[in-house]
Amino acid sequence: MNLLYMNKLFGITIILTVILSLGVFAKGDLIITTGTPEVLLQTGFEQDVFIPYTITNIGDEPVTSRFSLKMPQDNQWRGGSANPLYTYTGDIKTVGGEFKYPQGVPIIGTDDIEYFQKAVSNDIFQKGEYVSTAPTITLKPNESLPFTVADRGFFNIFSVADSGEHTFTYVVDPDNEVDEQDETNNEVTVTLNVSAPTVVKGPNTQFKLSDNQYWFFFKNLGDCVDLETPGPTKICLVSEGVFTAKLTINNEQVNLYYLFNIFSFDKQVENLVLSAGEDGFFLTYK
């Protein structure tokens, strides 16, 4: 066997080895990125924050998955995994039964042009064991799955009750159902300073307040709010039950009666009228 033949054989062997290794080790790889956060208009005691996100397959092979998520908030895990693709199947509808996404799942293709793909139900396996049947789609290499429209069905709206700095995290494929090239790049965290006021002064369209009205709530027993009605008014929460809240108005005790915070009897104290709502208390001054 001459040297030239040996060199050719060696070269062919190297080429075949590279090709085979690429075939063996080629996998999909999911990353998740976020867009610009948006603090939504406050309508209750919690402040909602919309954080758009996009899942992209940066690997070499297509990924078929339900693209489940976990969303830790302030480093606290909240329940199990979420499956936003259910919103595209028609299982989650708007009020009145109208299906919001009949076109299917929007995908951003490799040419940055959007097209739509129908979510189909597939059996999900994790490490060879059956997990569940869930809607799935397929992301080809360099394709993206955007969740950039504010919709609770997409799990891209967080709620906070306390003002201050908060962290919001997305983890895609948290249970490692997808065999990826890199299992360490599936998480992204956003830190945001959020104001969640406990008092809202009218006029305010979200709370349906006139200019002589307040909405407020108490986080804990013993908490107080200071209002101008038009003079200084301090209201404190003494106790709260299913049917009654005991308050003090400038140190004078007042009992406010309601039914599960759904129906409330107005309570008038001098020029003030108090009532209870689902997410707090309303005050009108004359």
**Do 67 and 85 form a contact (C-beta atoms < 8 A)?**
yes
Class of domain 27-194: mainly beta
DSSP for residue 2: -
Sites in the chain below the pLDDT cut of 50: 18-24
pLDDT of residue 81: 86
pLDDT of residue 286: 86
C-beta neighbour count of 31 within 10 angstroms: 18
pLDDT of residue 20: 46
Q: What share of the chain is helix, strand, coil (3-state, %, to 5)?
A: 10, 45, 45
pLDDT of residue 22: 46
- 3-state SS class at 11: helix
Give per-residue pLDDT as tens, 77-131.
Answer: 776 789 999 888 866 555 556 677 888 999 999 999 999 999 888 887 776 778 7
Q: Which residues pair with 267 in a beta bridge?
A: 274
Query: Global pTM?
Result: 0.77
- In the chain, CATH 2.60.40.10 covers 27-194
pLDDT of residue 21: 47
pLDDT of residue 46: 85
